[in-house]
Amino acid sequence: MRVSLLGLVLVLGAVAAKSATKLQEKFNWKLLDYAYPDEQSRQHALRTGEFVPENGIPVGIEIWKDKLFVTVPRWRKGIPSTLNYIPLHSDVYTKSPALIPYPDWSTNREGNCAGVTTTYRIKADACDRLWVLDSGTLGIENTTTQLCPYGILVFDLKTDRLIRRYDFKPEDTNDRTFIANIAVDIGKTCDDTFVYASDELGHGLLVYSWEQNTSWRVEHGYFHPDPLKGDFNIAGLNFQWFEEGIFGIALSPLKNDGYRTLFFNPLASNRQFAVSTMVLRHKELAQNSYHAFVPLAERGPKSHLTANFMDDFGMMFFNLIDQNAIGCWDSSRHPYDPKYLDVVDRDDVGLVFPSDVKVDRNYNLWVISDRMPVFLVADALDKNDINFRIYSAPIFTALRGTVCDPNTQFHYDDVRHGVISLKDFYE
């Protein structure tokens, strides 16, 4: 990976930087901290190196009721817990809350292969299950150690109990596999559930069936990076991620045929692709249906994506990591075309690398930013500055004034309070 420094400090401290106006900052951290049982335990962890605050970076979020989940990969030493949460309705509010391991400390203990070693992005589904992809790894790139198998853990969010762990088969992965994103596809019942996991560096898609409790691998040329799109400029850093293939994935609402569309994009690419889950749900079909995978339009320059999320009504939100911004596309009304893509909000300081985007059940948009290239590529995070932020806004506040705005005469609160159905915005 080639890196050059183009004025990192100047960019992060720019006086005239564009600031977010719709997204509201909910939490921020200079460095992450954890909710140890007592201060003595915390000090012991600091002394022994079990906890090294400057080595932690949050990358993924999920929201379920009053829990805001935050994932912290074990890229460096001293990460005591990878799967964590923040109570959204706490008696004592703090802007920089300590992370609480989920469901407990022991499940997150390094070396516990029945638990979670490293997770990136997670998904809470409509059946109140939390799906957690465990990479089983410590380190990143040439420091990676495969401590445990790649696996999926499923928690019952009502009881906080682990209800299943599934380890992927050896043939599901290869010696380059790096899986960060998952999407959960529920059919007619909670048992009729499939999970799709994008293998960024192995250039494949893993499919898991809850009902069959088995998995398979799908490969396609569209999962590979575009050799012309591997150059990045973020936060004053110029670097090359030219091997990064399929990364961002998102599922459409159920269509009339009973299936969804999986939208996906390589990281080193400016193009989106799509395939019906009817193909992916059947192993033989998935491995022998080249033309079922469809290329969509290119987004244009400065449009690398790592995260997509589509809500129940076909509104897609995505991170524009080159632009310090969040984008949108209303798939219910428009084809995938640059003229129908828009910027929801941007912040040239606070949204440097908006790593993950989600929409909760109350139709609030959530975003986490973490300055990842500054941490990972330049190793230059300033521990005296705010490095990690979580933002939120009602989706209709976020969409207002964009080409994605469903209908400017109505307001988000009308939907939330039942005055009008959300579906009315799309009819």
Per-residue pLDDT tens over the stretch 376-423? 999 999 999 999 999 999 998 999 999 999 864 455 556 566 665 555
Q: How confident is the model at residue 112 (pLDDT cuts 50, 70, 90)?
A: very high
Q: What is the pLDDT of residue 414?
A: 63
Angle among Cα 290, 218, 241 to the nearest 5 degrees reads 95
What does each C-alpha distance from 56 to 20, 30, 99 come to in angstroms? 25, 11, 11
Q: Within 10 A of 88 (CB to CB), how many other CB atoms are there?
A: 17
43, pLDDT greater than 50: yes
pLDDT score recorded for residue 411 = 52
pLDDT of 92 reads 72
- In 151-192, DSSP assigns E strands to 151-156, 161-167, 179-186
* Tokens 């790096």 -> residue: 178
pLDDT tens column, 49-62: 999 999 999 999 99
The per-residue pLDDT for 409 is 43
Band of residue 135 on the pLDDT scale cut at 50, 70, 90:
very high
Per-residue CA distances from 210 to 57, 166, 183, 364 (Å):
31, 9, 13, 29
DSSP letters, 357-396, are: EEE-TT-EEEEEE--HHHHHTS----TTS--EEEEEEEHH
Measured CA to CA in angstroms, residue 156 lies from 60, 303, 411 at distances of 19, 36, 34
Give yes or no for a contact between 241 and 230, defined as CB atoms under 8 angstroms apart.
yes
The band of 89, judged by pLDDT with boundaries at 50, 70 and 90, is confident
Average pLDDT, the chain: 92
Binned at pLDDT 50, 70 and 90, residue 270 comes out as very high
How many CA atoms lie less than 13 Å away from 244 in the CB half-sphere? 25
* Residue with more model confidence, 329 or 422: 329
Mean pLDDT, residues 157-173: 97
Q: Provide mean pLDDT across the span 17-24.
A: 86
Strands 294-298 and 308-310 come out as: unpaired
pLDDT reported for residue 376: 93
The arithmetic mean of pLDDT across residues 200-228, rounded, is 97
Would you state the pLDDT for residue 427? 46
pLDDT of residue 19: 82
- Determine which of 19-23, 149-153, 315-319 has the lowest per-residue pLDDT on average: 19-23
Strand order in the sheet with 308-310: 308-310, 315-320, 325-330, 341-346
User: Could you tell me if 323 and 197 are in contact, meaning their C-beta atoms sit under 8 angstroms apart?
Assistant: no
Mean per-residue pLDDT, 158-170 = 97
